Chain A
Amino acid sequence: LAKTTQPISMDSYEGQEVNITCSHNNIATNDYITWYQQFPSQGPRFIIQGYKTKVTNEVASLFIPADRKSSTLSLPRVSLSDTAVYYCLVVRNTGTASKLTFGTGTRLQVTL
């Protein structure tokens, strides 16, 4: 199962674009990538999911290169309320069984 690695922390100023990368070197064909946001003492919240290339929704974009060994969550124009921990999750769903590997999490601090 894919082992995931993320930077421990990142700092940004309000209004900037933030890119958080997750490394998943031994990702398998059936695996796909999901990102979550977590505030202190709350459950994680789903942000975005993708398999390859680029996915965009109203809050973020997810870039996955052709080799799929990494993925980048892009948060456009962050605000103070985006200060949180961000996790990538590699998921393998084979129909009869699932494998889930959360990354170590990246603590994003946004300041004025």
Chain B
Amino acid sequence: DSGVTQTPKHLITATGQRVTLRCSPRSGDLSVYWYQQSLDQGLQFLIQYYNGEERAKGNILERFSAQQFPDLHSELNLSSLELGDSALYFCASSGQGVGEQYFGPGTRLTVT
């Protein structure tokens, strides 16, 4: 158990809809990262927040947005969903060091 929690575990929705994925980092970690992993694909970095502020942006689509709240939990919002958005979405957290990240169990999103 990494200490990072993600909800929901599974999500099935239709094209065009909007969903929100939630992540709670490890106690004391200020950074939260979001990643997308499509079937049998590698990890695509989406975005990082540090203590409520956006720190780094990767290959995140304009239809996607994220935020980190004062209690440090984070939400990833995916809108106008397309079939290609079906994937595992991972959240990770870290302390001062960016390299040593602790990953949650992921949310499996299926868009039908």
Chain A residues in the interface with B (C-beta under 8 A): 32-34, 41-46, 49, 87, 89, 91, 93, 96-105
Contact = CB atoms under 8 A, between A and B. Distances in A.
A105 B43 CA distance: 9
16 contacts: A33-B99, A34-B99, A41-B88, A43-B4, A43-B92, A43-B106, A46-B101, A49-B97, A49-B100, A87-B42, A91-B98, A93-B97, A98-B56, A100-B56, A101-B45, A104-B42
Chain A interface, DSSP helix/strand/loop, else mixed: strand
Interface string B80-94: 000000001010100
A87 B97 CA distance: 18
Nearest to A100: B45
Most B CB within 10 A of own CB, among A49, A87, A96, A98: A98
Interface residues of B, number: 25
Contacts of B4: 43
Contacts of B18: none
Given A43-B92, A98-B55, A105-B42, A34 B105 contact: no
Contacts of B97: 49, 93
Nearest to A51: B99
Contact of A43 (B44, B98, B105): B105
Given A102-B45, A103-B42, A44 B56 contact: no
Contacts, number: 61
Contacts of B56: 97-100
B43 A102 contact: yes
Q: Which 4 A-B pairs have the closest CB atoms?
A: A43-B103, A34-B99, A98-B56, A93-B98
Contacts of B99: 32-34, 49, 89, 91, 93
A105 B48 CA distance: 21
B2 interface: yes
A34 B100 CA distance: 7
A100 B100 contact: no
A10 to B, nearest CB: 16
A43 B104 CA distance: 6
A74 to B, nearest CB: 18
